[in-house]
């Protein structure tokens, strides 16, 4: 059991949980920064978590839900108040209503996660601040104390898995639900480099080339919220062409943007793509959460070889672009 102490201070309205692990500080920090790892321990074993958004930066937000053994779901959110890489991060943690907004009937808490090196590895200290004694007692009565113990008891196994979430492991696609798919890859480069490579037309033309034998013919980047982007590819002979267009819905440089996407000349609903960039040990974790209108379209697009195509592009980004910028 990694937890070394649990201290309840009714006077200060806090609960402090300390846990130590025999891994480097960077490894422990990345377990919280990477939603693929975080959802493997944030939640008791019988109520595993699924993160559908995780903006690990000041001003960012995470949305998640826990699924019980009977399929029941309990949703929550984090609002990031501060992030000091490898040192601490602070969030407002609360419960979400069915529409994703904060549940006004439930209390929210301020949580501070502090990280330190130890002689044998690293330590995370989680201090939860409650708004009142009644809120503290209410959440303790709901099993918060025991839930945190069970959740953190799963971290040793997550941290021991050193190969599943590293650079060079390729592009991974995870089906989250009938309408949600998460595409993830660790890219060797800084967040700023990867962001620039996604927004500089000259750089985009060097790595986002489409299938073999094609070139990027049109590269109109959406610079501001509300702008439209247009990406088109054509064969080297110029005989065939296809492309995508969409609107920039939200942007927080250099770590997050949300766009719509629709194939040019094809009727039907669009997808919504949420790009998040997070610094991790081996470079930048690129995560794209894709929202489809239904499972049928999701499966159709995945069957086209989307993951392999994205991996070819990201490998080209590393090898031919990021090494030169």
What superfamily in CATH does domain 172-322 come from?
A: START domain (3.30.530.20)
User: Which DSSP helix (H) or strand (E) runs through 147?
Assistant: helix 144-152
- CA separation (Å) from 8 to 5, 90, 126, 144, 241? 10, 19, 12, 12, 64
Locate CATH 3.30.530.20 in the chain.
Answer: 3-160, 172-322
pLDDT at 144: 81
- Written as one string, the DSSP assignment of 166-186 is STTS--EEEE-SSSEEEEEEE
Statement: residue 319 has pLDDT above 70: yes
Task: Give the global pTM.
Answer: 0.87
Distance separating alpha carbons of residues 235 and 239, to the nearest angstrom: 6
Confirm if 48 and 72 have CB atoms less than 8 A apart: no
Distance separating alpha carbons of residues 180 and 271, to the nearest angstrom: 10
Which pLDDT band, with edges at 50, 70 and 90, does 151 fall under?
A: confident
Distance separating alpha carbons of residues 116 and 239, to the nearest angstrom: 59
178-232 pLDDT, tens digit each: 999 999 999 999 999 999 999 999 999 999 987 788 899 999 999 999 999 999 9
31-40 pLDDT, tens digit each: 999 999 999 9
pLDDT at 276: 97
Which pLDDT band, with edges at 50, 70 and 90, does 167 fall under?
A: low
Q: If DSSP codes are grouped into helix, strand and coil, which group holds residue 18?
A: strand
Using left for φ > 0, alpha for ψ between -120 and 50, and beta otherwise, residue 131 falls in alpha
Share of the chain above pLDDT 90, in %: 72
The residue behind tokens 């819905």 is: 249
Please give the structure tokens belonging to residue 49.
């978590």
Distance separating alpha carbons of residues 132 and 222, to the nearest angstrom: 46
Which of 3.40.50.720, 3.30.530.20, 3.40.50.170, 1.20.140.10 would CATH assign to domain 3-160?
Answer: 3.30.530.20
Of 104 and 144, more confident: 104
The average pLDDT across 113-142 equals: 93
Statement: residue 1 has pLDDT above 80: no
Q: Report the chain's mean pLDDT, rounded to a whole number.
A: 91
Which pLDDT band, with edges at 50, 70 and 90, does 163 fall under?
A: low
Reported as half-sphere exposure (CB side, CA atoms, 13 A), residue 36 has a value of 23
pLDDT at 201: 96
pLDDT at 324: 63
- Find the helix packing angle between 133-141 and 144-152, rounded to 10°: 60
- Find the helix packing angle between 295-302 and 306-316, rounded to 10°: 50
């Amino acid at each position: 059991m990694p937890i070394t102490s649990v201290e309840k201070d009714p006077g200060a309205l806090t609960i402090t949980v300390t846990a130590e692990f025999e891994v480097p500080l960077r490894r422990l920090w990345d377990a919280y920064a990477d939603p693929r790892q975080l959802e493997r321990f944030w939640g008791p074993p019988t109520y595993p978590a699924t993160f559908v958004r995780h903006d690990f930066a000041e001003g960012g937000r995470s949305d998640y839900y826990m699924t019980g053994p009977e399929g029941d779901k309990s949703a929550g959110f984090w609002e990031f108040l501060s992030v000091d890489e490898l040192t601490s991060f602070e969030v407002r943690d609360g419960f979400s209503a069915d529409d994703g907004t904060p549940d006004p009937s439930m209390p929210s808490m301020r949580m501070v996660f502090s990280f330190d090196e130890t002689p044998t590895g690293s330590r995370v200290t989680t201090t939860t601040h409650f708004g009142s004694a009644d809120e503290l007692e209410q959440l303790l009565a709901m099993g918060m104390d025991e839930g945190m113990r069970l959740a953190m008891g799963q971290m040793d196994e997550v941290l021991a898995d050193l190969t599943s979430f590293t650079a060079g492991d390729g592009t991974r696609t995870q089906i989250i639900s009938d309408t949600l798919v998460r595409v993830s890859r660790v890219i060797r480069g800084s967040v700023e480099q990867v962001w620039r490579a996604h927004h500089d037309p000259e750089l985009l033309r060097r790595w986002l080339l489409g299938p073999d034998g094609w070139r990027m013919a049109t590269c109109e980047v959406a610079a501001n919220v509300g702008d439209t982007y247009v990406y088109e590819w054509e064969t080297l002979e110029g005989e065939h062409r296809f492309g995508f267009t969409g609107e920039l819905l939200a942007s927080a440089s250099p770590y997050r943007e949300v766009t719509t996407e629709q194939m040019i000349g094809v009727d039907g609903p669009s997808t919504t793509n949420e790009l998040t960039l997070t610094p991790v040990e081996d470079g930048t974790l690129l995560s794209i959460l894709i929202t489809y209108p239904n499972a049928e379209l999701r499966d159709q697009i995945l069957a086209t070889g989307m993951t392999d195509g994205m991996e070819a592009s990201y490998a080209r980004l590393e090898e031919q672009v990021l090494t030169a910028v």
